[in-house]
């Protein structure tokens, strides 16, 4: 269990002596608090996303509510992992070369979802950006599971061939 805590905490053996790591460790939350924060943000994100889908069917204001709640849900879901790893480690991992494209696509689609709902008022475009945001978020998420991306690619190439 301690090994899992160290991995999720971002405690690498090479960084243990650095002053920045000592400051971050000194102000960090306890493991139980981190897990509770993760669960609260993650469940809150799922609830917001589901509420957004339900709000989609409300006439006139449904599109704006959908875009806002769906985007808040995704932000909350990503933010939940910051409790486990810490914000600095999470940001570093988000912009690693293996996750860079998925992160950029997800963030751009998130902004475009809100823009298409608030300013452009294009329902179809907002839905397209939400679908792209969903797939980018899924691709980003499975990058944390070893060999998951390879398995998904192999599954799709087998199904399409």
| Cα 160 to Cα 134, 149, 150, 153, distances in angstroms | 21, 16, 15, 10
pLDDT digits (tens, 9 = 90+) for 2-39: 655 665 565 554 445 565 664 455 456 788 888 999 99
Name the residue among 77, 78, 4, 80 with its Cα closest to residue 37.
80
Stretch (H or E) spanning 119: none
SS3 99: coil
pLDDT digits (tens, 9 = 90+) for 84-94: 888 888 899 99
pLDDT digits (tens, 9 = 90+) for 50-62: 999 899 888 888 8
Burial of 105 (0-12, 13-18, 19+ CB in 10 A): middle
Determine the Cα–Cα distance for residues 133 and 59; give it in Å rounded to an integer.
Answer: 23
Q: Which residue has the tokens 């809100």?
A: 114
- Residues 139, 143, 148, 149, Cα dihedral to 10°: 50
Determine the Cα–Cα distance for residues 75 and 103; give it in Å rounded to an integer.
Answer: 12
pLDDT digits (tens, 9 = 90+) for 122-135: 888 988 999 999 99
Stretch (H or E) spanning 80: helix 62-85
This prediction has a pTM of 0.74
SS3 96: coil
pLDDT at 116 over 70: yes
Which pLDDT does position 22 carry in this prediction? 47
């Amino acid at each position: 269990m301690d090994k899992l805590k160290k991995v999720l905490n971002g405690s690498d053996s090479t960084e243990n002596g650095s002053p920045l790591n000592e400051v971050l460790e000194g102000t960090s939350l306890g493991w139980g608090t981190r897990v509770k924060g993760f669960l609260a943000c993650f469940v809150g994100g799922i609830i917001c996303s589901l509420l957004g889908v339900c709000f989609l069917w409300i006439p006139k204001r449904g599109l704006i509510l959908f875009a806002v709640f769906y985007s808040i849900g995704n932000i909350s879901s990503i933010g939940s992992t910051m409790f486990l790893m810490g914000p600095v480690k999470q940001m570093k991992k988000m912009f690693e070369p293996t996750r860079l494209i998925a992160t950029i696509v997800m963030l751009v689609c998130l902004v475009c979802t809100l823009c298409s709902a608030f300013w452009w008022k294009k329902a179809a475009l907002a839905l397209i950006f939400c679908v792209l945001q969903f797939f980018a978020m899924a691709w980003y998420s499975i990058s944390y599971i070893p060999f998951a991306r390879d398995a998904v690619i192999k599954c799709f190439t087998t199904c399409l061939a």
